[in-house]
Structure 1
Amino acid sequence: MLPLSRVAKALTDYAFNELHINKVEIRAAVENKNSRGIPERLGFVNEGCIRQAEWLYDHYVDHVVYGMLAEEWNENILIELFYKNCT
């Protein structure tokens, strides 16, 4: 896992398991494939697009919104542990 993905995973885990937050959102510019890869690798759900969400340099860019619910996160962790123990 890439360093930023590890950080995002740790922060998401902290949000759900220590702060007991129900939902975490990550937003990224539509054209920023590296930033979009982080929530995608962690299993976040693409919830849609916010048009002209950010002024970047000299133009507006759209954002993709990714979401993860606490129940989904905990299911993903259990599946990850299961497969880790099977190999």
Structure 2
Amino acid sequence: MPGGAFLVGDDVALRPVEEDDLEFLRDHSNDPAIRHPMTFDRPTNLEAQRERFEDMYDGDDVGLLACVDDEPIGYAMLFRVDESAGHAEIAYWLAPEAQGEGYGTEMAALLLDYAFDERRLHRIRARALDTNAASQRLLEKLGFTHEGVQRDEKYVRGEYVDTHFYGLLDEEWVGSEAF
């Protein structure tokens, strides 16, 4: 596996993004199946991907490529990390052909293990659009509590949609082995 795995589960490994991965990330960031639920509203090219990921590894944020059998299938990130307050936000996406296989649950669970066990964070936030029922189910399966809704918060495909907000505390996390 290029770059070596950082976090390893039963089926999914999460590893740092390498130069060779930027085309995969660019192509999927532009794919409407990923772009709309993630609310990416601008096209991205290879140079923009390069700049984004060079910046990612300069701070406290963590972005990792999700792989199955050494093949990239998605991306997971821990961002808006506030070490002093002990919280961060999690986001993730899977290539359309990898969805529905349980990979999203495993990659998010691995990242939560890392956030709570290694980074010693206390609270993880997450968001999901009202139109993304799969992501809402994933967050609830992982133990996140639905904390509220911001009405008409995002503009996607010509309409305003609600954003659901979730939170998970370290003492509520059961660990990736449970999934």
Q: TM-score, structure 2 length as denominator?
A: 0.40
Work out which structure has the larger RCO, using CA pairs closer than 8 Å and 6 or more positions apart in sequence: 1
Question: Secondary structure of the equivalent of 2:150?
Answer: strand
Q: State the alpha-carbon separation in 1 of the partners of residues 158 and 164 from structure 2.
A: 20
Counterpart position of 1:40: 140
Question: Secondary structure of the equivalent of 1:40?
Answer: helix
Q: State the alpha-carbon separation in 1 of the partners of residues 111 and 143 from structure 2.
A: 14
Identity of aligned residues (%): 36
Counterpart position of 2:108: 8
Q: State the alpha-carbon separation in 2 of the partners of residues 43 and 25 from structure 1.
A: 12
- Gaps (5+ residues) in structure 1? 81-87
Question: Secondary structure of the equivalent of 1:16?
Answer: helix
Counterpart position of 2:70: none
Q: State the alpha-carbon separation in 2 of the partners of residues 16 and 53 from structure 1.
A: 29
Question: Secondary structure of the equivalent of 2:153?
Answer: strand
Say whether 1:57 aligns with 2:157.
yes
Number of residue pairs matched by the alignment:
76
Q: TM-score, structure 1 length as denominator?
A: 0.78
Q: State the alpha-carbon separation in 2 of the partners of residues 50 and 15 from structure 1.
A: 26
Counterpart position of 1:28: 128
Which structure's CA Rg is the greater one? 2
- Cα offsets for 1:26-69 (capped at 9, x unmatched): 11011311111110111111111112221212121111111100
Q: Which has the higher helix share?
A: 1
Counterpart position of 1:68: 168
Q: Runs (4+) of structure 1 moved beyond 6 Å?
A: none
RMSD of aligned Cα (Å): 1.5
